[in-house]
Structure 1
C-alpha cells in the first residue's frame, strides 16, 4: 500500500473508523453490550432509528465481524443480533466515548449557546 503523508495505513484506518465511529454503530454496540442479544425491532425501538438505516448499519457491522446475526425460521421469522468477540472488544472504547458525551453535555450546551449568541452579534455579510 502506498504511503500517504508519512502514514502508511491511514486509508485503512479511515475505513475502519468510518464504520466503527458512526453514531449508529456506536449506539448499536452500546445497546447490545447493555442488553445482550436483541431482536431487530427491539434495537429499532431502543435507538429510534429508521428500519432502512438499522438494516444497512447491521449489515455492515456483520460484514466487519462486530455483530452476529441469528435467523430463526419461525412464523413470523425471528432475527437476533449480538456482539461478536471482536464487537465486545470494542465495547470499552465505545462506553468511554458514550460516558464522555453524557458527562460533557452541559459543557457542550453552554459552548453552543455562546457560539450562537456570538454569531448573532456578528454583522451579516452580503
Structure 2
C-alpha cells in the first residue's frame, strides 16, 4: 500500500513538472517570436523609405503569431524604440510574485496582463 501511494505521488509530481515545462516552452516561443519581430521592425525603420507600411506589415505578423500582438515604434530624443506587446499567458505568477522581475518595456507603461519586448535603435 505504501509503495502504491509513493508511486502515485511521484507520478503526480512528474506530470506537474511536465506541464510546467510545456507552459514555459510555449511562453519562451512567444518571447522568441516577439524578439524576432521587434528586431525586424528596428531593421526596417533604418531605411529612409520605411514608415507606416513597414510597421503595419510587422504588426499584422505580430497579431498572427502572438495573442493580441501589436508592433509599434516610438521616438524620444533622437533614439527610437521598437516594441512588440502581446497578451500574457494565464496561469503564470503575478508580477509581484516573480523573483527576477524585468524592468518596464522601454520606459513605456504596459497594460496589466500584457508582455512586451523592446529594442532601442538610432536611425
Normalising by structure 1, report the TM-score. 0.31
Structure with greater helix percent: 1
Structure with greater strand percent: 2
Structure with greater contact order relative to length (CA < 8 Å, sep ≥ 6): 2
